[in-house]
Amino acid sequence: MSLRPSDPFKVPTSRPIEQKLHVGIFVCPGYFMPDVIGIQTVFGTLPNTELYLVWKNKDEFEGVPCFTTRANTTFAECPKNLDLLHIGAIPPNVMEDPEVLAFVAEYGGRAKWVSGVCAGALVLGAAGLLKGYRATTNFHMHDQLAYYGATPTKANVVEHGNRITSGPVSGSFDLALRLVGRLVGDDIGREVELQMEYAPEPPYRTGRPDLAGPELTAKALAALAPLTEITREVGLRAARRLEIR
């Protein structure tokens, strides 16, 4: 029997994962790859786990930054009952695509867990999956969670019911490891964290506004203000559509 390229990278665990996990990762033209890489790495190296990179079709497209991607599963092919549906940041126009929102609402509504990193949390909200839930996202857009009926909560990772959200990049790993614990147990989660040697030590410790200070934070907010205002308009339209008061 021949090995798939991913098989040698599966992390052995001290006990078997009895039931196969089905993990859907939403991708699309212009998606922000760092927001999904934690989920893809953590669950992609877990035994007895199937990953589905899901989009409308299987044509090649460009992710951000400069990451050529091709989905391996279409919306129509995606398993109906996922253990996890995960979404990272995507372009604002895709956040309002009716076909995308219908897919996220249907498949996320059935999944055991749904997760969103960075603006991916806003996508969950746009699909109606965050009404009444606590959630977080990146600091630039944190207040916009209220447009979707969510309660904006300041934390690295926020878990409420079966919804789990985080800030960008490293949040993808933090969230993924927590989900391993929820799905197959904390002992395996600890093993995976060690096997990956995941113990971040950022050199500047400016990765949150409270660490960076007001001057640097103001510069960061100003730099992304054009994108933030576009997503704000998306959120305001979503609030009207979702009848959020």
4-13, 33-42, 139-148, 229-238: lowest mean pLDDT where? 4-13
Closest CA to 131 of 171, 104, 163: 163
Query: In which region does residue 114 sit, left (phi positive, over 0), alpha (psi from -120 to 50) or beta (all else)?
Result: beta
β-sheet bridge partners, residue 151: 134
Model pLDDT for residues 189-242, shown as the tens digit of each residue: 999 999 999 999 999 999 999 999 999 999 999 999 999 999 999 999 999 999
> In DSSP terms, which residues pair with 24 in a beta bridge?
52, 85
> Which of 5-9, 171-175, 187-191, 194-198 is predicted least confidently?
5-9
How far apart CA 79 and CA 65 sit, in angstroms, is 29
Active site annotation includes 118: yes
Beta-strand runs (E) in the chain: 21-26, 49-55, 60-63, 67-70, 73-74, 84-87, 113-117, 134-135, 151-152, 157-160, 163-166
Catalytic-labelled residue, pool 28, 66, 78, 118: 118
Helix (H, G, I), strand (E, B) or coil at 110: helix
Range list of β-strands (E), 56-193: 60-63, 67-70, 73-74, 84-87, 113-117, 134-135, 151-152, 157-160, 163-166
Residue 87's identity, in one-letter code, is: I
Residues 93-150 have pLDDT tens digits of 999 999 999 999 999 999 999 999 999 999 999 999 999 999 999 999 999 999 999 9
Burial 216-226 (b: 16+ CB within 10 A, else e): ebeeeeeeeee
Encode pLDDT of 58-97 as tens digits: 999 999 999 999 999 999 999 999 999 999 999 999 999 9
Q: State the Cα–Cα distance between residues 225 and 236, nearest whole angstrom.
A: 16
